Amino acid sequence: MYKRILLAYDGSDSGQKALLDCHDLAQWSQSELFLIAVMPLSMSFVGLEGGYYDPEFEESEKKKYRAVLDDGLRRLSQSGHKVSGEVLIGETIDEITKYAKKVDANLIVVGHKHLDSWAARWWRGSISGALIEHASCSVLVVVTH
């Protein structure tokens, strides 16, 4: 059974559903929980000549991701789970898979929202689909519509 569960949490509706499902699964299997929020690397402004780095923008983004993470940690802690977590910065799939290996996770849980149009699906890409291909453990995709 799954004894070390990693939840990649973004605070979205699908992320919140994944959090609830993860809570139920962890309670049933008495698992250790790890929660991460992955902040993508970004530049503040990109123009024709390139981009520039704005440390104030990055700091404000870190605070947003930290607030999302803290919300998830609070919810799981209030449910009686021992949970640890951190904000990671980088490419989402790489950061999730590296962290899963670091904590020796048996299961990664992510939320996924079905997108209606093919253009939206193409533009956004599929984190969950790519994660399934790159993860070294099982992946549970919690779907919302």
The full set of domain ranges for the chain reads 4-144
> DSSP characters for 9-53?
--SSHHHHHHHHHHHHHHHHHT-EEEEEEEEPP--SEEETTEEE-
**What are the tens digits of pLDDT across the range 72-128?**
999 889 988 889 999 999 999 999 999 999 999 999 998 876 555 544 444 455 677
Q: Taking Cα atoms as reference points, which of 134, 101, 95, 107 lies closest to residue 24? A: 107
**What are the tens digits of pLDDT across the range 109-123?**
988 765 555 444 444
CA distance 137 to 99: 12
> In the numeric block, which tokens belong to residue 83?
């949970």
Global pTM? 0.81
Quick one: pLDDT at residue 35?
94
R_g of the chain computed on alpha carbons: 16
Question: Among 3.20.20.70, 1.10.645.10, 3.40.1230.10, 3.40.50.620, what is the CATH number of 4-144?
Answer: 3.40.50.620
Quick one: pLDDT at residue 113?
67
Q: Whats the size of the chain, residue-wise?
A: 145
**What are the tens digits of pLDDT across the range 6-61?**
999 887 777 787 877 777 888 888 889 999 999 987 655 455 566 666 778 888 88
Residues ≥6 apart with Cβ < 8 Å to 76: 19, 22, 23, 26, 33, 35, 83
CA distance 8 to 15: 8
